[in-house]
Amino acid sequence: MKKRVIRYLGMLKKGIIGISIELVYPLIVTVVAFLISLVIFLSESSFR
C-alpha cells in the first residue's frame, strides 16, 4: 500500500506541469470564445 502511494506521488510530481497546463487550456478556450462573442455583440449593437 505504502509503495503504491509513493509510486502515485512520484507520478504526480512528474505530472504536475501537465496538470497545470491542462487546467489552463479550458480557460484559453473560454477567453477565445469570449472574444468571439464580444466581436459579434459589438458589431450587432453598432448596427442597430
Q: Any contact of residue 6 with other proteins (CB under 8 A)?
A: no
Measured CA to CA, the distance from residue 1 to residue 6 in angstroms comes to 9
Residue type, 32: V
Interface mask (CB under 8 A) for other proteins, residues 13-42, using x and -?
A: -xx-xxx-xxx-xxx-xx-xxx-xxx-xxx
Cα–Cα distances in angstroms (integers) from residue 46 to residues 35, 39, 41, 42, in the given order? 16, 11, 9, 6
Three-class secondary structure of residue 48 per DSSP: coil
Beta carbon of residue 22, minimum distance to other proteins (angstroms, whole number): 6
The residues of the shown chain that bind other proteins, judged by CB under 8 A, are 8, 11-12, 14-15, 17-19, 21-23, 25-27, 29-30, 32-34, 36-38, 40-42, 44-45, 48
